[in-house]
Amino acid sequence: MYRAAVRWGQLAAKFFLTGMALYAASAGWRRGIRGRAIALIVLALALPVIWTSEINVSLLTPSRLLGQWSAKKTEFIPTRKPDAVYVDGDIVGTVDGVQIDESRGTVILQHIREAGASILADDKPLVFRQFELRGCHAMKVLEQTIMGETRSRDLGNVTCEIVGPAP
């Protein structure tokens, strides 16, 4: 049953392609002697290729054609968490409370959880929302130590300069 359906599909595809070749040839046929010569060449080349080759009908299904089209249109768009601070694409802290003053070119991050003070010492820029930030300094460094071991560092009132849009 499946083979018969495939065979009928191949036959239909061949008739369709033959019709397209004849249509193209007829358009050339009406254009004088040059058009007739081109039309005969098109028919002489197209018809034997159409009728002697195997046509893979499974490639001609609408869902496959649309699937290939939509796959090309869809691109990977990286998403960022709106309350996260990034360095080199990695999350280095989570922000609670922010004040953005674009007219002055500054961002004040009220509280950055789970961030080490080392993120401010690096020369690498911070990325927060749509901004690339540099020159950050913290007014407070809160450390949680348990039995002499530092478990987490939180930063408070971190002021940064906006140097441009996030990459």
Residue 79 lies in a domain: no
Which pLDDT band holds residue 30 (cuts at 50, 70, 90)? confident
Domain that holds residue 9: 2-73
* 146-160 pLDDT per residue, tens: 777 766 678 888 889
Q: Is 165 strand, coil or helix?
A: strand
Give me the pLDDT at residue 106, please: 92
- Residues 112 and 128: beta-carbon distance below 8 Å: no
Q: Is 83 strand, coil or helix?
A: coil
Q: Which of 73, 93, 111 is the last residue of a domain?
A: 73
pLDDT at residue 3 greater than cutoff 60: yes
* 112-145 pLDDT per residue, tens: 887 765 677 767 888 888 889 988 888 887 777 6
Residue 66 lies in a domain: yes
Residue 78 lies in a domain: no
- In the chain, the number of structural domains is 2
